[in-house]
Amino acid sequence: MTIEIGQPAPDFNAKDQNGELITLSQFKGKKVVLYFYPRDSTPGCTAQACDLRDNYQTLLDQGFVILGISTDTEKKHQNFIAKYDLPFPLIADTEKDVHELYGTWQLKKFMGRESMGTVRTTFIIDENGLISDIISKVKTKEHAAQILN
């Protein structure tokens, strides 16, 4: 599925790091940063999460809710959040249902090998539930600035 700017963001039901059900529709009326990333505790993913953590108050002040999502388990998310003091929820999409909805589970090439994996992508969703921006060239150490610009 291809997601485009201006279209409604696909709603989903998924569990966060504590097993709490999260739906996109519960954030209606708020701006949502839905960021897909490959793996907890890897260098790029850690840099991205820590940049969002370090700029969290600024993002909140601009009216954003941040939701991270990967195929890692709830337990891995709990460890990642504890280790880096992350103030936002991480969704455990172990069955890749949300990834499929947003088209972020794709064939990737790395060092001559092909495999399926998460394509690092951030979707900005406006207060009406519409996609207002898609960041596909994520700068992990400057991601908050990309969102705010």
Domains of the chain: 29-148 (3.40.30.10)
Instruction: Look up the pTM and report it.
Output: 0.95
d(CA 119, CA 106) in angstroms, rounded, equals 7
* Residue 51, phi then psi, degrees to nearest 5: -65, -45
Length of the chain: 149
Token pair recorded at residue 5: 């700017």
Instruction: Return the active site residues.
Output: 45
Q: Return the ∠ at Cα 6 (arms to 138 and 98), rounded to 5°.
A: 60
pLDDT value, residue 111:
84
Residue type, 149: N
For residue 72, pLDDT beyond 70: yes
Residue range 77-133, pLDDT digits in tens: 999 999 999 999 999 999 999 999 999 999 988 788 899 999 999 999 999 999 999
